[in-house]
Amino acid sequence: MKKAMTILYEVHGNLYVNVTNTCPCACTFCLRQTRDHMEESDSLWLEHDTTYEELVEALQQIDAATMEHYQEVVFCGFGEPTEALDVLLRGAAYIKEHYHKPVRINTNGLGSLINGEDIAPKLAGLVDTVSISLNTPDAEEYHKLVRSKFGDQSFSAMLQFAKECTKYVPHVVMTTVDTTISHEDEAACQKICDELGVKYRIRPWED
């Protein structure tokens, strides 16, 4: 596989941050299985995990006019961003201080399991939106799809993480992918999100 140090890349008018390729899941639908890039980016397979210093250097290379164009800065690459929690938090703080941009994390919602503690409080004041991949309303089906190394506890831990995030993050969203589950399952996902007090979003399929 081709590797590079593509730390920043653009998707849908947002600036995406690629901090790690590590992930506790092996999702059956993961885009990493069929591609090595997104849109016009170079390979998102990193030579090594991004350091805080490398992230700051990459951000500083973007001119002010280009940075102004971005609506959000999104921690999302070819890995689970909470696997690199320290870089994520320090990077988010730098972005807030220097660019005053909204920060979003796209996550599998297993960050507290990954880090061995409730990480939601650490996001306060640094992250504006947490977008969590719900994928399905059914725990058994979730395990088949996501294949988390944490096993059966993963589904409930993901839901608990979403609930905790509502205490510290202004916008918490849980998502499924259009056409991958039935309308009945989408309704069940909506019910779960309503009970957790988060927004439900059906995101478009990307092939």
Q: What is the full per-residue pLDDT of the chain (207 aa) written as tens digits?
A: 566 788 999 998 999 999 999 999 988 777 655 444 444 445 787 889 999 999 999 999 999 999 999 999 999 988 999 999 999 999 999 999 999 999 999 999 999 999 999 999 999 999 999 999 999 999 999 999 999 999 999 999 999 999 999 999 999 999 998 878 999 999 999 999 999 999 999 988 764
Report the distance separating Cα 103 and Cα 7, nearest Å: 16
Sequence spans of domains, the chain: 8-203
Burial class from Cβ neighbours inside 10 Å (0-12, 13-18, 19+) for residue 78 reads: buried
Give one DSSP letter per residue of 137-187, joined into a string. S-HHHHHHHH--TTTTHHHHHHHHHHHHHTTT-SEEEEEEETTSS-HHHHH
**CA atoms of 132 and 110, how far apart (whole Å):** 9
CATH superfamily name and code, 8-203: Aldolase class I (3.20.20.70)
pTM exceeding the 0.85 threshold for the entire prediction = yes
Q: Which DSSP string corresponds to 81-97? A: GGGGHHHHHHHHHHHHH
Between strands 14-17 and 8-11, the pairing is antiparallel
